[in-house]
Amino acid sequence: MADQPVLAQLHFGREDAERDVTEGLLLRGGFLPNAAHRAALSGRKMLIIGRKGAGKSAICMRLMSDSGHGGGKVLVTPDEAAGEEIRRFELQGLPGDSAKALIWRYVFAVHAARHLVTHAKSDHGKRFDSVKALERFLKQNGESAGEDRLVDRLAQGARGLQTSLSLEAFGIKAGLDLSQSPSEGARAARQLEIVERGVARAFADLGCDGAVHPPLLLMVDQLEQVWSAEPDANSMVIGLLLAAKHAAGLYGRSARFLLFLRADIYDSLSFGEGDKFHGDELRITWTEQALRDLALARARASVGQGLTEEQLWKELFPRTVGGEEITAYLFGRCLPRPRDAIQFLNACVEKAWLEQERDRITEADVVQAGRQFSEWKLKDLTSEYLVAHPFLRNLFPLFQNTGYVVTRAGLGRRFEAAADTLHHDFPAYANVLTLSGAIDLLYGVGFLGVRRGNDVVYAGDDGLPVQPHETEFQVHPCFRAALGSTTALDLRRFEPQLLGARIASGTLSPAALGSSSLNRDDRLLMQLARSCHSIVAQVGRAVGVTSDVRDEITMQVNRILDQVNRISSGAVSVLGVDMDEYLRTTAHYFTTLAAQLRADGLDETTGIGDVVRRIQEEERRLRRSAGGAYGSSGDSSGY
């Protein structure tokens, strides 16, 4: 290993936190503490919310590690069986959310009781009556420490709450004082209150209030594994929120609760007490700089702490790709979350070392990895939102093989052509499958950004949703390669084949050029150059147009100008080119270019209208020049 190049050792870790703990870098210096981790560790926040791959489970795994939270800790990760048990749990007399809150409260109480029984023996020595009562309750209700399957505990708890729990450990005879409860739900709530009071009493007797030792930490993660867009699944999550808030208030400083929820799940919930949770929320956000810091930390964890930022980004990686600084290129093409960055960076390393056995990554490696990564992410976006938005993948063809800058008007024409098929295939989502609905969704999942001022804003950068007056959007760089949308606008290229072939032959010599005096053809060529310069200058003045669009228009016009500049004075006649026809061909291209810009529906207030009008003016000037003797066009540079 020691004689291998650094690139052979470089690895940015595993994409999922569970494997990253056992065989990756999460516990070997590859974890970057952030606001969400600090809030979770301090108990300031109870809800850690983030998109898939944002690092929720990494925080959870870090807290579960020996170097994470110093006190007792319990992690609940429901599997499908457990999720099904909760989803179908009902109690007569209680709405679904409240019933499911009771089963979650029962799970928390049982976990806390098991912790207290073990903790009292190992750390306190003295056996309090309250702890003995908890131990008897666990045994009498089949909840002893040996029963570790969550689904079994849920099934046991569900039966007990729906019928009767054994409460003799707390001095309550079976059925005593509970038979008169007005409903099944009320009876279950009274039983659970007795259990919870017993847990709270044991916490108090032991003095476990966070002062002597850290509190018990109860965490719930990976709910997305058992969630669906059905009402009972939403009730399951709402019940969890209600239960955690209730238990946090009941147990005080003795226990903390952390719920790791995917943003799309949390944002889909609607319930009366939702406004009470805002103070408990913390949403995970990542900046480009934070992702750079994470990448460097993980690189050092794999090859050694001596690795510098300079070595990573200027020696192992190429300094630039396509003229763009390497970190801006890499992280600008990721959605802002660690999983994406880890996948892209590892793909670059694999292209260079595993496939080519190079000791450094080249521009070509990054570009190839980027294409593969883009295809992955387009598929991943579909699977991430498959439950809530099963039609999402059917919207992607609207953006294939076209410019990545789209307008509301242009997208409206494409959507109208596809609307009947979408409504036929997904009739249940017809109310969402409108132009405005599609734009809002694509912005919300990070696929589209919206033009605001001179910037393009993506979801997460700005909490403001797409506004009705906003008309210009861009496909996120992450997805452009997979869609074949690698230019700002899908503008037709200017390619006069006859002239291009003759110039490309390179057979002209100074002797063949003859006299240096200007003839009419040469003057027409000069007029064409002035027209190109005039258009480029007008594009440069359109500061309200995004730089990507300005660059795309300028590039296409400069293609014409490059050909003009490659012809020396007098070369037109030697090449045998019909300049009148050449000008008419160019004028026709300008007509097409102006029409495309109009059809794309770019906002007039940005200055694009002035660009279109200048192109049309130069198109008319060229046609006049090609139609008569030099001077008949009212020659003007147009600057």
How does pLDDT run across 64-110, given as a tens digit for each residue?
887 778 788 889 888 877 888 888 888 888 888 999 999 999 999 99
For the chain, the residue count is: 639
On whether both 275 and 145 belong to a single domain, the answer is yes
| Rounded Cα gap, residues 508 and 214, in angstroms | 85
173 is a domain residue: yes
Phi, psi of 80 (to 5 degrees): -60, -40
Segments of the chain with pLDDT less than 70: 1-2, 22-24, 26-27, 145-148, 174-181, 461-462, 496-518, 567-577, 628-639
Handedness of CA 422, 423, 428, 432 (dihedral sign): positive
| Other C-beta atoms lying within 10 Å of the C-beta of residue 190 | 15
What domain range is 556 assigned to? 515-627
pTM: predicted TM-score of the whole model, two decimal places: 0.82
On whether both 255 and 304 belong to a single domain, the answer is no
On whether both 371 and 520 belong to a single domain, the answer is no
Residues 563, 564, 567, 570, Cα dihedral to 10°: 150
Q: For the residues of 389-444, what is the DSSP string, one character each? A: -TTGGGGGGGGTTS-SEEEHHHHHHHHHHHHHHHHHH-GGGTTT-SHHHHHHHHHH
Give the per-residue pLDDT at 290: 93
489 is a domain residue: no
Nearest to 145 by CA among 113, 188, 183, 178: 113
| 3 state DSSP class of 283 | strand
570 is a domain residue: yes
| Rounded Cα gap, residues 150 and 147, in angstroms | 8
On whether both 329 and 220 belong to a single domain, the answer is no
On whether both 209 and 73 belong to a single domain, the answer is yes
| Rounded Cα gap, residues 296 and 308, in angstroms | 8
The alpha-helical segments, DSSP class H, found in 207-324 are 231-251, 263-267, 288-303, 309-311
502 is a domain residue: no
On whether both 11 and 56 belong to a single domain, the answer is no
Q: pLDDT digit string (tens) for 115-174? A: 999 888 887 777 789 999 999 999 888 887 655 677 777 777 888 788 888 888 888 775
By 3-state DSSP, what share of the chain in percent is helix, strand and coil, each rounded to 5?
60, 5, 35
Question: By CB neighbour count within 10 A (0-12 exposed, 13-18 middle, 19+ buried), where does 429 fall?
Answer: middle
On whether both 69 and 188 belong to a single domain, the answer is yes
On whether both 314 and 232 belong to a single domain, the answer is no
On whether both 115 and 262 belong to a single domain, the answer is yes
188 is a domain residue: yes
On whether both 253 and 294 belong to a single domain, the answer is no
Tally of domains within the chain: 4
Q: pLDDT digit string (tens) for 177-230? A: 555 667 888 888 998 999 999 999 999 988 887 777 789 999 999 888 888 878
Measured between its terminal Cα atoms, the distance across the chain in Å is: 64
490 is a domain residue: no
- In sequence order, the 6+-apart residues with CB closer than 8 A to the CB of 31 are 25, 58, 62, 297
24 is a domain residue: no
| Rounded Cα gap, residues 357 and 355, in angstroms | 6
458 is a domain residue: yes
Which amino acid, residue 153?
R
Nearest to 277 by CA among 337, 236, 237: 237
Among 361, 384, 407, identify where a domain stops.
384
On whether both 279 and 291 belong to a single domain, the answer is no
Among 238, 262, 283, identify where a domain stops.
283
Which amino acid, residue 543?
V
Among 384, 414, 444, identify where a domain stops.
384
Angle between helices 579-599 and 608-627 (to 10 degrees): 160
On whether both 195 and 304 belong to a single domain, the answer is no
